[in-house]
Structure 1
Amino acid sequence: MRTQHLQTLSVAGQRIRYDVRPGDRRKTPLLLCCGIGAAFEVLQPAVDALDPDQEVIRFDVPGVGGSPVGPLPYTFPMLAWMVDRMLRQLGYDQVDVLGLSWGGALAQQLAVQHRRRVRRLVLVSTATGMLMVPGRPATLIKMITPRRFRDPEYAAGVAGLLYGGSARKHATDIRRMFKTQAHAGSRRGYLFQLLAGATWTSLPFLGLIQQPTLVLSGDDDPIIPVANARILAGLIRRAELHLYHGGHVELVTEAPTLVPVISEYLSR
């Protein structure tokens, strides 16, 4: 049984909580970037579904989970710089990067800003930032508050409205997902994440992303309509599009179904 390496490091004075699941270092390690407000434990089902030999790196952005909030709001370029320095400190020359939802924006920024650090890119349930095809208004209103990350019972109650797909029938999975978080994060940290997304778009630089990219999207996603995945796949030069029947968080709730698609792509 593998042991986990769970601790913090400092990047330019900012403490970052991270986790490394050791694997075969002859394979490219996989960096996971979480959705808005979510600590890295939320992605545990996806980690469990990966090959045990796959090395996996997870982290909490400032103000989320176990990473304390910084004094000022940050931008995606600033966060990408932090992640690049974190990987350097951990001794990784190159990684594959998977970004879910808000984390997909960070993954896009990292791929174009630090292109030598990223070998392949996987974008799940994500879009191009402030210039995107918007989700349903009722859903976006619910997204303004971080309550679902701090109150698992509330999260289960709004799961179907927010996430669609399997969350409509398996609210208990959503409750369990958020209960796994060791730390709920701060309201100010959540606000900083909202601000980062509201002032960023990848549309001007999608054509500059050189890495092979897999874009995954569900056909029942109230937050990120599938049209956004088509835009990403159409503008990223070496992109493949994979559409699945499901919602926004199938990577977590239906990991055994989606993770093999991702693993096959990364193994090419």
Structure 2
Amino acid sequence: MENVGGRVLRVARWNLDKPSDHPPILFFNGIGANIEAVAPLAEELSDRGFIMFDMPGVGQSPEPTIPYNAVTMSWTATQLLDRFGIDTVDVMGISWGGAMAQHFALQHGARTRRLVLIATTAGMIMVPGNPAALTKMANPRRYIDPEFMAQHFETLYGGALGNELAADGKPASGKSQHMSRLTPPTPRGYMYQLLAMIGWTSVPALPFLKKDTLIMMGDDDQIVPLINGKILNSLIPNSELVVVEGGGHLFLLSHKDKSVKAIRDHLDAPDDGELSQAA
């Protein structure tokens, strides 16, 4: 637990005390998701530092008393980096956290080297996903009711983490492993996280974002359709779009090897000018 910018946050750090040729990664998680949900990615990227935190009221971070927005949480993230003596980071975010990653890079460009946007959008100006998935996504029962989560897992996240139920009727291994890592947010924490991005969009600012940016999208994502990645790719000058075939909203976990390779290729590429545009 760290007291940062007037807030108490649960913070996770990997390998910050080890020498590395790479800047650390600052990761922003999806809505309602706790640190454990993305811990497997941090463990894969063991050759560099990795830092992330539970949003207020999410995971084990205490419930917020007042609302927050992208501006205040980006500033809070800089205070956290200062706490650990980190000057420059590669910024990564998934889904809701992808919007936070965009905002951080725009607000704190001097501290951002490269950007990775995963299964995300430009905010309020977006193409919405499958209505069946969106209504279930907004239902907090997916965090507190295992039967609800198991029943609607494929609608929410696609079937790549395991389409079949085990013989005992419980979720298959991929589903159960993911579900076991989730901790339900508090109702206020979940609501404040939803409210934080109301009215927010990065569209007017993205043409001025000069950071080398990797955009990763799944072509079977029912929550954030692929077209949203193409919109980001068209607006961000130095961006590359990688499409994960058969990937749902959780392709970062279901297609871990391909995802990690794409992330490494992007973050470790030489600084030799603009990235080529990808269709």
Cα distance in structure 1, aligned partners of 2:85 and 2:142: 35
Establish whether residue 251 from structure 1 lines up as the match of residue 252 from structure 2: yes
Shift of 1:174: 2.8
Shift of 1:145: 1.6
What are the residue-to-residue correspondences of 1:116-131 with 2, within 5 Å?
A: 116-131=110-125
- The letter of the residue matching 1:35 is G
What are the residue-to-residue correspondences of 1:58-77 with 2, within 5 Å?
A: 58-77=52-71
- The letter of the residue matching 1:20 is R
Establish whether residue 17 from structure 1 lines up as the match of residue 17 from structure 2: no
Q: Per-residue CA shift, 1:166-208, capped at 9, x if unaligned?
A: 1462653233213124x43211111111112222111111112
| Aligned match of 1:212 | 212
State whether residues 25 and 89 of structure 2, in contact with CA within 8 Å, keep that contact through their aligned partners in structure 1. Answer: yes
| Aligned match of 1:192 | 192
Deviates more, 1:247-256 or 1:98-107: 247-256
Shift of 1:165: 4.6
| Aligned match of 1:56 | 50
Cα distance in structure 1, aligned partners of 2:41 and 2:146: 19
| Aligned match of 1:40 | 35
Shift of 1:242: 0.5
State whether residues 97 and 121 of structure 1, in contact with CA within 8 Å, keep that contact through their aligned partners in structure 2. Answer: yes
State whether residues 38 and 65 of structure 1, in contact with CA within 8 Å, keep that contact through their aligned partners in structure 2. Answer: yes
| Aligned match of 2:74 | 80
Cα distance in structure 2, aligned partners of 1:165 and 1:37: 21
Cα distance in structure 2, aligned partners of 1:248 and 1:231: 17
Aligned residue for 2:149, secondary structure, equals: helix
Shift of 1:257: 2.2
Aligned residue for 2:115, secondary structure, equals: strand
State whether residues 64 and 188 of structure 2, in contact with CA within 8 Å, keep that contact through their aligned partners in structure 1. Answer: no
- Tell me the TM-score normalised to structure 1 length: 0.91
Query: Which entry has the higher C-alpha Rg, 1 or 2?
Result: 2
State whether residues 159 and 168 of structure 1, in contact with CA within 8 Å, keep that contact through their aligned partners in structure 2. Answer: no
Cα distance in structure 1, aligned partners of 2:132 and 2:181: 27
What are the residue-to-residue correspondences of 1:84-163 with 2, within 5 Å?
A: 84-163=78-157
Runs of 4 or more above 4 Å deviation? none
> Which structure dedicates a bigger proportion of its chain to helix?
1
Aligned residue for 2:262, secondary structure, equals: helix
- Tell me the TM-score normalised to structure 2 length: 0.88
Aligned residue for 2:32, secondary structure, equals: coil
State whether residues 45 and 253 of structure 1, in contact with CA within 8 Å, keep that contact through their aligned partners in structure 2. Answer: no
Cα distance in structure 2, aligned partners of 1:161 and 1:86: 36
Shift of 1:143: 1.6
Q: Per-residue CA shift, 1:51-101, capped at 9, x if unaligned?
A: x22211121111111111211221111111111111111210001011010
Cα distance in structure 1, aligned partners of 2:139 and 2:197: 15
Deviates more, 1:222-231 or 1:246-255: 246-255
| Aligned match of 1:3 | none
Cα distance in structure 1, aligned partners of 2:104 and 2:231: 19
Aligned residue for 2:128, secondary structure, equals: coil
Deviates more, 1:225-234 or 1:134-143: 134-143
For structure 1, list consecutive stretches of 5 or more residues without a partner in the other structure.
Answer: 1-7
| Aligned match of 2:272 | none
Which of the residues 23, 27, 36 maps onto 1:28? 23
Cα distance in structure 1, aligned partners of 2:59 and 2:65: 16
State whether residues 21 and 48 of structure 2, in contact with CA within 8 Å, keep that contact through their aligned partners in structure 1. Answer: no
Cα distance in structure 1, aligned partners of 2:248 and 2:233: 18
- The letter of the residue matching 1:9 is E
Q: Please report the RMSD computed on the Cα atoms of aligned residues, expressed in angstroms.
A: 1.6
